[in-house]
Structure 1
Amino acid sequence: MNAALPAVAPVPTLPRVTDLLPHRYPMLLVDRVEEMVPGERVRAVKAITMNEPWYAGLSADAALDYPPSLLIESWGQCAGLLASATAPAPAGQVMLFGSVADAEFCLPVLPGDVIEHRVRISRALADSVIFEGSSHRGADTVMSVSRMVMAFRPAELLRTDTPVRPHAGRDREATS
Protein backbone atom coordinates (compact mmCIF):
# COMPACT_ATOMS: atom_id res chain seq x y z
CA MET A 1 0.00 0.00 0.00
CA ASN A 2 1.50 3.32 -1.08
CA ALA A 3 0.40 6.17 1.12
CA ALA A 4 0.72 9.58 -0.46
CA LEU A 5 3.32 11.78 1.14
CA PRO A 6 2.09 15.10 2.46
CA ALA A 7 2.85 18.06 0.24
CA VAL A 8 5.86 20.03 1.40
CA ALA A 9 5.88 23.76 0.87
CA PRO A 10 8.95 24.99 -0.98
CA VAL A 11 11.59 26.53 1.23
CA PRO A 12 12.15 30.18 0.31
CA THR A 13 15.60 30.85 -1.04
CA LEU A 14 17.60 33.10 1.22
CA PRO A 15 19.79 35.70 -0.45
CA ARG A 16 23.56 35.41 -0.41
CA VAL A 17 25.22 38.19 1.54
CA THR A 18 27.48 39.11 -1.39
CA ASP A 19 24.45 39.50 -3.67
CA LEU A 20 23.11 42.34 -1.51
CA LEU A 21 26.20 44.05 -0.09
CA PRO A 22 29.21 45.52 -1.88
CA HIS A 23 31.52 44.64 1.05
CA ARG A 24 34.25 42.02 0.63
CA TYR A 25 37.08 40.64 2.77
CA PRO A 26 38.27 41.92 5.16
CA MET A 27 35.28 44.22 5.79
CA LEU A 28 32.45 41.82 4.96
CA LEU A 29 31.29 41.10 8.51
CA VAL A 30 28.20 38.94 7.87
CA ASP A 31 28.53 35.26 6.99
CA ARG A 32 25.03 34.02 6.28
CA VAL A 33 21.37 35.04 6.23
CA GLU A 34 19.24 32.76 8.43
CA GLU A 35 15.84 34.39 7.90
CA MET A 36 14.59 37.36 5.93
CA VAL A 37 11.19 38.96 5.63
CA PRO A 38 11.76 41.87 3.20
CA GLY A 39 10.39 45.12 4.51
CA GLU A 40 10.23 43.74 8.04
CA ARG A 41 13.18 41.84 9.56
CA VAL A 42 16.36 39.82 9.03
CA ARG A 43 18.37 37.34 11.09
CA ALA A 44 21.96 36.77 10.03
CA VAL A 45 25.10 35.36 11.62
CA LYS A 46 28.74 36.32 11.99
CA ALA A 47 31.30 33.79 13.24
CA ILE A 48 34.14 35.47 15.13
CA THR A 49 37.51 33.85 14.43
CA MET A 50 41.16 34.46 15.34
CA ASN A 51 41.88 34.65 11.58
CA GLU A 52 40.40 38.13 11.34
CA PRO A 53 42.94 40.89 10.58
CA TRP A 54 42.23 42.89 13.78
CA TYR A 55 43.66 40.00 15.83
CA ALA A 56 46.92 39.86 13.86
CA GLY A 57 50.03 40.71 15.85
CA LEU A 58 48.41 40.72 19.29
CA SER A 59 50.60 39.76 22.19
CA ALA A 60 49.86 36.49 23.99
CA ASP A 61 48.33 38.32 26.94
CA ALA A 62 46.21 40.77 24.90
CA ALA A 63 42.45 40.94 25.47
CA LEU A 64 40.58 39.17 22.68
CA ASP A 65 37.29 41.05 22.96
CA TYR A 66 35.89 41.70 19.50
CA PRO A 67 35.99 45.48 18.89
CA PRO A 68 32.56 47.05 19.64
CA SER A 69 32.90 49.25 16.54
CA LEU A 70 33.11 46.09 14.40
CA LEU A 71 30.11 44.57 16.17
CA ILE A 72 28.14 47.72 15.26
CA GLU A 73 29.48 47.51 11.68
CA SER A 74 28.46 43.86 11.40
CA TRP A 75 24.97 44.63 12.74
CA GLY A 76 24.76 47.59 10.36
CA GLN A 77 25.67 45.35 7.43
CA CYS A 78 22.71 43.15 8.40
CA ALA A 79 20.53 46.27 8.32
CA GLY A 80 22.00 46.99 4.89
CA LEU A 81 21.02 43.48 3.78
CA LEU A 82 17.44 44.14 4.83
CA ALA A 83 17.38 47.57 3.18
CA SER A 84 18.80 46.13 -0.06
CA ALA A 85 16.39 43.19 -0.10
CA THR A 86 13.43 45.45 0.64
CA ALA A 87 14.11 48.09 -2.00
CA PRO A 88 17.43 47.88 -3.82
CA ALA A 89 19.04 51.27 -4.18
CA PRO A 90 17.97 52.85 -7.46
CA ALA A 91 20.66 53.18 -10.10
CA GLY A 92 23.16 55.83 -9.09
CA GLN A 93 22.17 55.73 -5.42
CA VAL A 94 24.53 54.81 -2.59
CA MET A 95 23.45 53.43 0.80
CA LEU A 96 25.10 55.38 3.63
CA PHE A 97 25.25 54.77 7.36
CA GLY A 98 23.77 57.84 9.03
CA SER A 99 23.81 57.33 12.79
CA VAL A 100 23.34 54.91 15.65
CA ALA A 101 21.66 55.73 18.96
CA ASP A 102 21.52 53.93 22.27
CA ALA A 103 23.74 50.98 21.41
CA GLU A 104 24.29 48.98 24.57
CA PHE A 105 27.11 46.43 24.80
CA CYS A 106 26.01 43.78 27.30
CA LEU A 107 28.70 41.07 27.08
CA PRO A 108 32.11 40.74 25.41
CA VAL A 109 32.30 38.85 22.13
CA LEU A 110 35.29 36.52 21.72
CA PRO A 111 36.85 34.37 18.99
CA GLY A 112 34.83 31.17 18.69
CA ASP A 113 31.51 32.97 19.26
CA VAL A 114 28.80 32.83 16.62
CA ILE A 115 26.78 36.02 16.80
CA GLU A 116 23.21 36.21 15.55
CA HIS A 117 22.11 39.69 14.53
CA ARG A 118 18.39 40.44 14.64
CA VAL A 119 17.40 43.59 12.78
CA ARG A 120 13.91 45.05 12.31
CA ILE A 121 12.75 48.01 10.27
CA SER A 122 11.33 50.54 12.68
CA ARG A 123 10.38 53.08 10.03
CA ALA A 124 10.96 53.52 6.30
CA LEU A 125 10.96 56.94 4.70
CA ALA A 126 11.40 57.95 1.06
CA ASP A 127 15.21 58.01 1.16
CA SER A 128 16.05 56.71 4.65
CA VAL A 129 15.38 53.65 6.80
CA ILE A 130 15.43 53.40 10.60
CA PHE A 131 16.32 50.04 12.17
CA GLU A 132 16.31 48.54 15.67
CA GLY A 133 17.34 45.20 17.10
CA SER A 134 19.98 43.19 18.90
CA SER A 135 22.83 40.70 18.67
CA HIS A 136 22.98 37.38 20.52
CA ARG A 137 25.35 34.58 21.43
CA GLY A 138 23.00 31.67 22.01
CA ALA A 139 20.44 32.85 24.58
CA ASP A 140 22.62 35.78 25.72
CA THR A 141 22.17 39.30 24.37
CA VAL A 142 25.58 40.80 23.61
CA MET A 143 24.35 44.11 22.14
CA SER A 144 21.13 46.03 21.62
CA VAL A 145 20.53 48.92 19.22
CA SER A 146 17.62 51.30 19.72
CA ARG A 147 18.05 53.11 16.43
CA MET A 148 20.27 53.05 13.35
CA VAL A 149 19.58 55.30 10.38
CA MET A 150 20.64 54.56 6.82
CA ALA A 151 20.09 56.90 3.91
CA PHE A 152 20.18 56.55 0.14
CA ARG A 153 21.89 59.43 -1.66
CA PRO A 154 22.82 60.11 -5.30
CA ALA A 155 26.38 58.94 -5.98
CA GLU A 156 27.19 62.03 -8.04
CA LEU A 157 26.68 64.21 -4.96
CA LEU A 158 29.34 62.19 -3.15
CA ARG A 159 31.98 62.49 -5.86
CA THR A 160 34.38 65.35 -6.18
CA ASP A 161 36.89 66.26 -8.86
CA THR A 162 38.84 68.29 -6.35
CA PRO A 163 41.20 66.34 -4.08
CA VAL A 164 40.53 66.73 -0.38
CA ARG A 165 43.28 68.77 1.24
CA PRO A 166 44.29 68.73 4.90
CA HIS A 167 43.13 71.59 7.10
CA ALA A 168 45.51 74.57 6.91
CA GLY A 169 46.29 74.35 10.63
CA ARG A 170 47.60 70.81 10.24
CA ASP A 171 49.95 71.83 7.42
CA ARG A 172 51.53 74.52 9.61
CA GLU A 173 51.97 72.09 12.51
CA ALA A 174 53.59 69.46 10.30
CA THR A 175 56.13 71.90 8.86
CA SER A 176 57.05 73.71 12.11
Structure 2
Amino acid sequence: MSAAVQAAFDAPPLPRVNDLLPHRYPMLLVDRVEELVRGTSIRAVKAITLNEPWYEGLAADAPLDYPPALLIESWGQSAGLLASATAPAPDGQVMLFGSVADAQFHLPVLPGDVIEHRVRVSRSLGDSVIFEGSSHRGADTVMTVSRMVMAFRPGEVLTTDEPVRPPAGRDREATA
Protein backbone atom coordinates (compact mmCIF):
# COMPACT_ATOMS: atom_id res chain seq x y z
CA MET A 1 0.00 0.00 0.00
CA SER A 2 1.41 3.42 -0.95
CA ALA A 3 2.15 6.03 1.71
CA ALA A 4 -0.59 8.32 0.32
CA VAL A 5 -3.23 5.57 0.52
CA GLN A 6 -2.12 4.63 4.03
CA ALA A 7 -2.25 8.29 5.11
CA ALA A 8 -5.85 8.50 3.83
CA PHE A 9 -6.80 5.50 5.97
CA ASP A 10 -4.99 6.90 9.01
CA ALA A 11 -6.47 10.42 8.72
CA PRO A 12 -9.33 11.20 11.10
CA PRO A 13 -12.70 11.22 9.36
CA LEU A 14 -14.04 14.56 8.20
CA PRO A 15 -16.65 15.97 10.56
CA ARG A 16 -20.32 15.85 9.69
CA VAL A 17 -21.90 19.26 9.32
CA ASN A 18 -24.87 18.35 11.57
CA ASP A 19 -22.50 17.32 14.36
CA LEU A 20 -20.82 20.74 14.57
CA LEU A 21 -23.49 23.32 13.68
CA PRO A 22 -26.82 23.87 15.43
CA HIS A 23 -28.45 25.01 12.16
CA ARG A 24 -31.09 22.85 10.49
CA TYR A 25 -33.27 23.13 7.39
CA PRO A 26 -33.90 25.59 5.89
CA MET A 27 -30.96 27.55 7.35
CA LEU A 28 -28.29 24.86 7.23
CA LEU A 29 -26.38 26.13 4.21
CA VAL A 30 -23.38 23.78 4.05
CA ASP A 31 -23.74 20.27 2.64
CA ARG A 32 -20.40 18.66 3.46
CA VAL A 33 -16.78 19.19 4.47
CA GLU A 34 -14.29 18.31 1.73
CA GLU A 35 -11.05 19.08 3.55
CA LEU A 36 -10.18 20.21 7.06
CA VAL A 37 -6.86 21.29 8.53
CA ARG A 38 -7.79 21.92 12.16
CA GLY A 39 -6.93 25.41 13.31
CA THR A 40 -5.93 26.48 9.80
CA SER A 41 -8.40 25.95 6.94
CA ILE A 42 -11.49 24.23 5.60
CA ARG A 43 -13.05 23.52 2.21
CA ALA A 44 -16.80 22.99 2.42
CA VAL A 45 -19.47 22.58 -0.25
CA LYS A 46 -22.97 23.97 -0.80
CA ALA A 47 -25.11 22.79 -3.73
CA ILE A 48 -27.63 25.43 -4.84
CA THR A 49 -31.03 24.02 -5.86
CA LEU A 50 -34.40 25.37 -6.92
CA ASN A 51 -35.93 23.45 -4.00
CA GLU A 52 -34.69 26.04 -1.50
CA PRO A 53 -37.45 28.11 0.13
CA TRP A 54 -36.16 31.48 -1.15
CA TYR A 55 -37.00 30.41 -4.72
CA GLU A 56 -40.56 29.46 -3.81
CA GLY A 57 -43.26 31.54 -5.49
CA LEU A 58 -40.95 33.49 -7.78
CA ALA A 59 -42.45 34.83 -10.99
CA ALA A 60 -41.50 32.83 -14.09
CA ASP A 61 -39.28 35.65 -15.36
CA ALA A 62 -37.68 36.52 -11.99
CA PRO A 63 -33.87 36.34 -11.78
CA LEU A 64 -32.61 33.21 -10.03
CA ASP A 65 -29.45 34.67 -8.53
CA TYR A 66 -28.75 33.15 -5.12
CA PRO A 67 -29.19 35.87 -2.48
CA PRO A 68 -25.78 37.37 -1.56
CA ALA A 69 -26.72 37.43 2.14
CA LEU A 70 -27.22 33.65 2.01
CA LEU A 71 -23.88 33.17 0.23
CA ILE A 72 -22.22 35.09 3.09
CA GLU A 73 -24.19 33.00 5.62
CA SER A 74 -23.11 29.76 3.95
CA TRP A 75 -19.46 30.89 3.92
CA GLY A 76 -19.82 31.93 7.57
CA GLN A 77 -21.23 28.52 8.47
CA SER A 78 -18.12 27.01 6.87
CA ALA A 79 -16.01 29.27 9.09
CA GLY A 80 -18.09 28.11 12.05
CA LEU A 81 -17.38 24.49 11.12
CA LEU A 82 -13.65 25.25 11.13
CA ALA A 83 -13.87 26.97 14.52
CA SER A 84 -15.99 24.17 16.02
CA ALA A 85 -13.83 21.37 14.62
CA THR A 86 -10.68 23.06 15.90
CA ALA A 87 -11.80 23.75 19.45
CA PRO A 88 -15.44 23.07 20.30
CA ALA A 89 -16.99 25.84 22.35
CA PRO A 90 -16.76 25.17 26.08
CA ASP A 91 -20.03 24.23 27.77
CA GLY A 92 -22.36 27.19 27.90
CA GLN A 93 -20.52 29.13 25.18
CA VAL A 94 -22.32 30.23 22.02
CA MET A 95 -20.62 30.97 18.70
CA LEU A 96 -21.66 34.40 17.38
CA PHE A 97 -21.11 36.08 14.04
CA GLY A 98 -19.47 39.42 14.75
CA SER A 99 -18.84 41.19 11.46
CA VAL A 100 -17.80 40.82 7.85
CA ALA A 101 -15.59 43.26 5.97
CA ASP A 102 -14.75 43.66 2.32
CA ALA A 103 -16.96 40.90 0.94
CA GLN A 104 -16.99 41.16 -2.83
CA PHE A 105 -19.38 39.34 -5.13
CA HIS A 106 -17.73 38.59 -8.47
CA LEU A 107 -20.25 36.40 -10.31
CA PRO A 108 -23.89 35.40 -9.75
CA VAL A 109 -24.61 32.02 -8.20
CA LEU A 110 -27.50 30.10 -9.75
CA PRO A 111 -29.46 26.92 -9.07
CA GLY A 112 -27.42 23.96 -10.25
CA ASP A 113 -24.14 25.51 -9.09
CA VAL A 114 -21.99 23.71 -6.56
CA ILE A 115 -20.13 26.27 -4.49
CA GLU A 116 -16.90 25.47 -2.68
CA HIS A 117 -16.13 27.71 0.29
CA ARG A 118 -12.45 28.08 1.16
CA VAL A 119 -11.94 29.53 4.63
CA ARG A 120 -8.65 30.22 6.42
CA VAL A 121 -7.98 31.35 9.98
CA SER A 122 -6.32 34.73 9.71
CA ARG A 123 -5.94 35.26 13.44
CA SER A 124 -7.13 33.63 16.66
CA LEU A 125 -7.65 35.89 19.67
CA GLY A 126 -8.74 33.55 22.46
CA ASP A 127 -12.53 33.86 22.43
CA SER A 128 -12.63 35.45 18.95
CA VAL A 129 -11.42 34.23 15.55
CA ILE A 130 -10.82 36.18 12.34
CA PHE A 131 -11.29 34.34 9.04
CA GLU A 132 -10.61 35.14 5.38
CA GLY A 133 -11.21 33.32 2.12
CA SER A 134 -13.35 32.86 -0.93
CA SER A 135 -16.11 30.90 -2.65
CA HIS A 136 -15.75 29.18 -6.02
CA ARG A 137 -17.81 27.59 -8.77
CA GLY A 138 -15.29 25.32 -10.44
CA ALA A 139 -12.36 27.54 -11.46
CA ASP A 140 -14.41 30.75 -11.10
CA THR A 141 -14.26 32.86 -7.94
CA VAL A 142 -17.79 34.01 -7.07
CA MET A 143 -17.04 35.78 -3.77
CA THR A 144 -14.08 36.90 -1.67
CA VAL A 145 -14.14 37.77 2.02
CA SER A 146 -11.28 39.81 3.48
CA ARG A 147 -12.37 39.43 7.09
CA MET A 148 -15.10 37.76 9.13
CA VAL A 149 -15.04 37.85 12.91
CA MET A 150 -16.66 35.23 15.14
CA ALA A 151 -16.73 35.26 18.91
CA PHE A 152 -17.62 32.79 21.63
CA ARG A 153 -19.70 34.22 24.48
CA PRO A 154 -21.48 32.75 27.54
CA GLY A 155 -25.00 31.68 26.60
CA GLU A 156 -26.55 32.89 29.86
CA VAL A 157 -25.46 36.46 29.07
CA LEU A 158 -27.27 36.24 25.75
CA THR A 159 -30.56 34.94 27.15
CA THR A 160 -31.14 37.37 29.99
CA ASP A 161 -34.29 39.50 30.00
CA GLU A 162 -32.40 42.47 31.38
CA PRO A 163 -31.33 45.21 28.97
CA VAL A 164 -27.70 45.22 27.93
CA ARG A 165 -25.81 48.13 29.45
CA PRO A 166 -22.66 49.63 27.93
CA PRO A 167 -19.42 49.20 29.87
CA ALA A 168 -18.73 51.87 32.50
CA GLY A 169 -17.75 55.17 30.95
CA ARG A 170 -19.29 54.34 27.58
CA ASP A 171 -22.89 55.43 28.00
CA ARG A 172 -24.71 57.76 25.58
CA GLU A 173 -24.07 60.89 27.61
CA ALA A 174 -20.34 60.25 27.75
CA THR A 175 -20.09 59.74 23.99
CA ALA A 176 -22.53 62.45 22.85
Give the shorter-chain TM-score range. 0.7 to 0.9
Alignment of 1:116-127 (within 5 A): 116-127=116-127
Q: Does 1:15 align with 2:1?
A: no
SS of structure 2 residue aligned to 1:99 = strand
Alpha-carbon shift at residue 85 of structure 1 (Å): 0.6
Q: Give 1:157's aligned amino acid.
A: V
Q: Which runs of 4+ in 1 moved over 6 A?
A: none
Q: Does 1:27 align with 2:27?
A: yes
SS of structure 2 residue aligned to 1:63 = coil
Q: Give 1:155's aligned amino acid.
A: G
Deviates more, 1:10-19 or 1:107-116: 10-19
Q: Give 2:114's aligned amino acid.
A: V
Q: Deviations over 1:33-69 (max 9, x none)?
A: 0000010000000000000000000010000000000
Alpha carbons of structure 1 residues 33 and 11: separation in structure 2 relative to 1, 3 Å: farther
Q: How far apart are the structure 1 equivalents of 2:52 and 2:108?
A: 17
Q: Does 1:53 align with 2:53?
A: yes
Percent same amino acid at aligned positions? 81
Q: Deviations over 1:100-142 (max 9, x none)?
A: 0000000000000000000000000111000000000000000
Q: How far apart are the structure 1 equivalents of 2:50 and 2:90?
A: 37
Give the equivalent residue in structure 2 for 1:169: none
Q: Does 1:93 align with 2:93?
A: yes
SS of structure 1 residue aligned to 2:121 = strand
Gaps of 5+ in 1: 164-176
Give the equivalent residue in structure 1 for 2:141: 141
Give the equivalent residue in structure 2 for 1:83: 83
SS of structure 2 residue aligned to 1:35 = strand
Q: Which has the larger radius of gyration?
A: 1
Give the equivalent residue in structure 1 for 2:172: none
Q: Give 2:66's aligned amino acid.
A: Y
Deviates more, 1:104-113 or 1:154-163: 154-163
SS of structure 1 residue aligned to 2:96 = strand
Gaps of 5+ in 2: 164-176
Give the equivalent residue in structure 2 for 1:68: 68
Query: TM-score, with normalisation over the residues of structure 1?
Result: 0.87
Matched length: 159
Q: Deviations over 1:68-121 (max 9, x none)?
A: 000000000000000001110000000000000000000000000000000000
SS of structure 1 residue aligned to 2:73 = helix
Give the equivalent residue in structure 2 for 1:174: none
Alpha-carbon shift at residue 6 of structure 1 (Å): 4.4
Q: Does 1:36 align with 2:36?
A: yes
